Amino acid sequence: MKVAAIDCGTNTMRLFVAGQEADGSLREYDRRLTFVGLGEGVDATGAFASDALSRAFVACEQYAEVIADLDCRRARFVATSATRDASNREELFSGVRARLGIEPEVISGLEESQLSFRGALSGIRCPRSPVLVMDSGGGSTELVRGTVDAAGARIETGVSLNIGSRRLRERILHDDPPSAEQIARARALVDEQLDGCGVGLGDIGTFIGVAGTVTSMTAVALGLRRYDRSRVHGAAIARDVVRRTAERLLGATVAEVTSWGPVQPQRAEVLCAGALIVAEVTRRVGAAELVASEADILDGIALGMLNDGTGQVLSPR
């Protein structure tokens, strides 16, 4: 059976079509990403812009063709931070229903963190517990702490913080590149959120980062001229390299970041803000390195459909 997982985030919309191997691991049939910028301006206005909705609907139409062509039998459309904040989310939902025939879900920050934890651990070996999974997105950042042993993975605690790459870029880091004063204000806001997050970070044994900010930072740190998913997944970046990469991104213009090669222009617009968040979390984490994972919330959604029967049953073609 093939399932279709759709993650509707603040910066991107993504599709993952998967099945399951005999050993329980996921078999990938299709994985794609579209920059729709759905959360553009939401932090200030509290609503989706019409242009952003139009871009999202075009992506839905493209994804509908893939889902039909691959004969998926179950699907789940998950919307996260930007949709949680938008007053006109029903306009998005009605468009999704019309184009995909799927009932969209707005999930809580807690469920988002749990799905990211499950997805990340499906693709990364964790040699030491406790494990921290960080999902640094466009509108929010999830931190999930848990343990992994012979009995499996267990979540101890998690939190969703209202700090993300687009939110921080639009709210504070206005200049290109950001000024020293803007960087100091943004760092103070992130530190304030982390001070009260309630998740123990100092004794972490394995630190895993998922989503576009971490994977893009990893590509930059590795010196890639073109994004290579196989090289990014599982790459371990030392704490001081994370810090230096963030400083490099904060000191560069969007055009300069784009010229380096592995970062798409739409990601480059907000990457410096995401990098600041990642660096501040990393500074507090006890693990010596940050491990990048291409397995993320999409994998968690797919596993839920295949193993737990979540999502919506689709009619066969």
* Helix locations, 131-288, DSSP H: 165-171, 180-195, 212-221, 229-232, 239-250, 254-259, 265-284
> What confidence score (pLDDT) does residue 127 get?
75
What is the residue-wise DSSP string for 220-242?
Answer: HHTT-SS--HHHHTT-EEEHHHH
CATH topology of domain 3-108+297-313: Nucleotidyltransferase; domain 5 (3.30.420)
Q: How far apart are CA 105 and CA 305, in angstroms?
A: 14
pLDDT of 109 strictly over 70 = yes
Q: How far apart are CA 190 and CA 224, in angstroms?
A: 28
Find the mean pLDDT for residues 56-73: 96
**Distances from the Cα of 111 to the Cα of 107, 158, 238, 304, 308, angstroms:** 6, 9, 29, 12, 15
**Which is it for strands 236-238 and 289-293: parallel, antiparallel or unpaired?**
antiparallel
Locate CATH 3.30.420.40 in the chain: 3-108+297-313
Q: How far apart are CA 262 and CA 226, in angstroms?
A: 4
- Asked: is 125-293 a CATH 3.30.200.20 domain? The reply is no
178 or 44, which is more confident? 178
150 or 55, which is more confident? 55
Specify the pTM.
0.92
Find the mean pLDDT for residues 189-212: 94
Percentage of the residues of the chain whose pLDDT score is greater than 90: 80
Locate CATH 3.30.420.150 in the chain: 125-293
> What confidence score (pLDDT) does residue 291 get?
97
Q: How far apart are CA 114 and CA 142, in angstroms?
A: 9
The band of 317, judged by pLDDT with boundaries at 50, 70 and 90, is low
> What confidence score (pLDDT) does residue 112 get?
87
The band of 38, judged by pLDDT with boundaries at 50, 70 and 90, is confident
> What confidence score (pLDDT) does residue 139 get?
86
Preceding amide of 177 cis, omega within 30: yes
Q: How far apart are CA 217 and CA 264, in angstroms?
A: 12
